[in-house]
Amino acid sequence: MQEDQKAKGIMILIEFKDTVGLQNFTNEMEKRNINGLLMVTPEFVKDNCDNIKAVIKKGVEIVGTNVEAPFWDIPYEVQKKRIIDMTKNIEACTGIPVRIISSRYMASDMTTLRVAEELGIPYITSRGTTDTKATVYQPEGYNTKILSISNIPIATFKYGSLCDYSFFERAGTPQDMRDELDRALEPLTDKEKIRYGIYHKITPVSHTWIGGYLKPWHDMWIEFWDNTTHNIEWVSLDEFMADSDWVLPPWQIPINKNAPYTPEKMRLLISYEDEEKVQNTSITKRG
């Protein structure tokens, strides 16, 4: 792959449990100057304010997230109230405007887009629509852009985002995920450019209570970061979103509502308790 064919990437972190894995994961990202987004609820931010502010100093931007339910078909008034509450309470800790919002399953709909536009929020996420390639949609008549997250296309793990949890809960191994990450970095073919958009972008995702705390998964991430520098350029949120793959009328932008996560479908290969853990390290503050 030539230098100018590098994929642009941004890590997406998810954490709702504690800050142990989050600290480990972001420490390793900081060493490698890898930018990222952290999906958290305002409640989690309030309970862990000092740690969240330390994580932000590592080049991580907060995604205001509603985990109770996906923003699909939720009435305008309900979405707007929740989004205002999310941003207000996160900003009360960080002092930094929330510039991207999400919900369970990365979900959004046209109501989310409308609310974000009204509140001056420049970005929202959506569940993936173009397999492992991330896609940026610019709805016509709006300033807000939509980030469609990388998904898993192979049947064994299908319908999850390109995320360690998606593999872990489907009896997948770290190598299964690494193989899919490598495929995501392969250059786009002309046919893929027609289907996905001309810009090559990926959004690898980690639930940091897995990627930052279970040693086999943590080791996989480190090996991926250290051995794919010739294939990927880690960029900031604004750099990632700068080039829109598609400029379309809002009604024409695809929405993926396929999220078959239920406890009875989980098939863990190794239980969480039995996985070897990473020794926790303290947060190293930048600057």
What domains lie within the chain, and their CATH numbers?
3-265 (3.20.20.370)
How much is the pLDDT for 268? 74
Tokens of 104: 């369970």
| Residues ≥6 apart with Cβ < 8 Å to 181 | 162, 202, 204, 224, 228
Tracing tokens 């239980």 back to the chain, one arrives at 271
pLDDT in tens, 164-177: 999 998 889 999 99
Report the distance separating Cα 67 and Cα 40, nearest Å: 8
pLDDT, greater one: 272 or 174: 174
Report the distance separating Cα 287 and Cα 249, nearest Å: 43
| Residues ≥6 apart with Cβ < 8 Å to 166 | 152, 157, 160, 172, 205
What mean pLDDT value characterizes the chain?
Answer: 92
pLDDT in tens, 211-220: 999 999 999 9
Q: Which amino acid type is present at position 71?
A: F
Q: How many CB atoms lie within 10 A of CB 104?
A: 17
Question: Model-level pTM?
Answer: 0.92
How wide is the angle at C-alpha 192 spanned by C-alphas 126 and 124, nearest 5°? 15
Q: How many CB atoms lie within 10 A of CB 278?
A: 20
